[in-house]
Amino acid sequence: MPVDPEYLLGEAAAERRRARKKRSRRRLACRCCCLLVVAVVVICLGCFGAAVTKALHVHDVELVDKRNISASTIQYTLNYSYNSNILPGQWIKYKAPSERVRDYSPVASDNGETTTLAIKVSNGVSLELARDVWPDSLVRISGPFPPLPDMLRSLDTSAARVGFFCFGSAITACVDPVRALLGHGANVRLLYFTRGPEQVLFRPQLDGLKNVYGDKYQVHYVYTRPGQEPDSPGEWTGRLDAAMVDGVFHDWYDFPARFESAGSAAAKSLTRQLVSSANHTGHWKDRVFDMPFVPGCCVEVLRLTEAAKHCPS
């Protein structure tokens, strides 16, 4: 049966129209996807820019309290809401009247409405703070850092068992991460090394966690001064060695565990060696994560030479 040429031409034209419509839809979809990607990028850049701007913004905050909490450490309480501005693991920058800047790890007050800094007085910025800054005066800070902490340095709150090794005034970098991990249901054990009981910082806060979390939380105060005797349960004397690690963490050997350390380079190096050489069954991460205790914070450097001799080879 003969086919009408005009019918064939009409069908061809219809096919071309359908093909043009498909191409138009694909181009429209492609443009929409590109616009969506651009919008997401702009939003991300805007959020990052806002976070960076907030971190770099200088705040003049009121100092509401200043007191000695040990022979060489002063605690400063700032009228700056910790809960509204800072996440565990972040730090702030203090700008001294001399224009020098120093980084410090803040600690939340019991209600989170103020921020405290525990600073060991030595020289430089810490000496300026001790000498020139008094209650009711304004303190110039910026931060917190890093901006967008969930992306740039997040505290792993998914771990079920976390051990902390904190040396001297580096405890300031550990107090709030310990609180955060306990709040997420983790089992936390803390070894806190100081020369003696008079140098223990934030003891009421650390001991108070035992009343809230019970067996999920253990804290051991280890005094390294020769001749120092423990005064109460939970206090030990001596140096960090393999026997101490075994005594605190032996029942974790068959389970995954994560470890954090804060202190001097020598202290953290010894911690890594002891954790790596412990008799666990392969579940532990050999890496000991460094708390974000940035250069410039006051760290009590412990004499660990003798302790290193006890480290298994």
Q: Is the dihedral of CA 119, 124, 125, 128 positive or negative?
A: positive
Do residues 99 and 128 touch, judged by C-beta distance below 8 A?
no
DSSP single-letter state for residue 198: G
DSSP single-letter state for residue 295: B
What are the beta bridge partners of residue 107? 116
> Is residue 268 part of an annotated ligand binding site?
no
> Is residue 120 part of an annotated ligand binding site?
yes
Q: Which tokens go with 165?
A: 């090794």
> For residue 306, which phi and psi values (nearest 5 degrees)?
-70, -35
Q: Which residues contact 180 (CB under 8 A, 6 or more apart)?
A: 88, 155, 157
Q: Which tokens go with 76?
A: 């400063």
> For residue 65, which phi and psi values (nearest 5 degrees)?
-155, 145
In the chain, the amino acid numbered 241 is: D
SS3 for 148?
A: coil
What are the beta bridge partners of residue 118? 75
d(CA 56, CA 143): 6
What's the length of the chain?
Answer: 313
DSSP β-ladder status, 73-78 and 58-68: antiparallel
How many degrees, rounded to 5, is the angle at CA 47 between CA 42 and CA 48?
Answer: 95
Known binding-site positions: 102, 104, 120, 172
Binding site for FAD: which residues? 102, 104, 120, 172
